[in-house]
Amino acid sequence: MPVSATGPYDQGNIFAKILRGEIPCNKVFEDDFALAFHDIAPQAPVHVLVIPKGPYVSWADFSATATDAEIGGFVRAVGQVARDLGLEEPGYRLLANTGVHGNQVVPHLHVHIFGGRQFGAMLS
Ligand code: 5GP
């Protein structure tokens, strides 16, 4: 069920529980700003999610209200994870589903990193 990109932050969402350590994840990266872990239902040979540590619902929320340090730290983390996974060559795809039309399901900002094969058309 898609969620609003601009609603109040729900501390009970699944990624908030992962951040608090209440639910396990297959972690690939963590620093002060971000946590990255493998998607539970991968849709590519490599499918990793990168989430900010702060309570941001979506790209809309994060881009408007996060601090410059949080935004910089998060963007650098996404690039670092892709680099660490060996994806810079031959490349990878980033996706941030946002709100109902974006079909965002989990109401905590996450960037999908897809890699490991050649992707086709951008949208089906
Ligand atoms: P969205 O559609 O919101 O952009 O994507 C949410 C993603 O979170 C989906 O790809 C889904 O497989 C993943 N996901 C949902 N619950 C969990 C979970 O408990 N653990 C992990 N690792 N991924 C999850």
Question: In the chain, where are the structural domains located?
Answer: 14-107
| Token couple for 27 | 């972690």
14 lines ligand 1 (CB under 6 A): yes
With CA atoms as reference, report the closest residue to 52 among 6, 26, 103, 15: 15
pLDDT at 124 over 80: no
Q: Identify the band that residue 23 occupies on the pLDDT scale cut at 50, 70 and 90.
A: very high
Which DSSP letter does residue 9 get? P
3-state secondary structure of 82: helix
105 CA from centroid of ligand 1 (Å) = 8
Annotated active-site positions, please? 110
Q: Is the dihedral of CA 5, 7, 11, 14 positive or negative?
A: negative
> Ligand 1, closest atom to CA 97?
4
17 CA from centroid of ligand 1 (Å) = 12
39 lines ligand 1 (CB under 6 A): yes
Query: pLDDT (tens digit, 9 = 90+) per residue, 87-111?
Result: 999 999 999 999 999 999 999 999 9
Give me the pLDDT at residue 44, please. 98
Task: Give the mean model confidence (pLDDT) for residues 60-73.
Answer: 98
- Count the Cβ atoms, other than its own, within 10 Å of residue 62: 21
11 lines ligand 1 (CB under 6 A): no
pLDDT at 122 over 90: no
41 lines ligand 1 (CB under 6 A): yes
With CA atoms as reference, report the closest residue to 106 among 30, 28, 23: 23
Best residue among 14, 37, 40 to mutate for probing ligand 1, ranked by most atoms within 8 Å of CB: 40
Contact 35, 29 (CB under 8 A): yes
Specify the fold of 14-107.
HIT family, subunit A (3.30.428)
Angle at 94 between CA 48 and CA 119, to 5 degrees: 95
Q: Identify the band that residue 123 occupies on the pLDDT scale cut at 50, 70 and 90.
A: confident
- Chain Cα centroid distance, residue 26: 14
Task: Give the mean model confidence (pLDDT) for residues 64-77.
Answer: 98
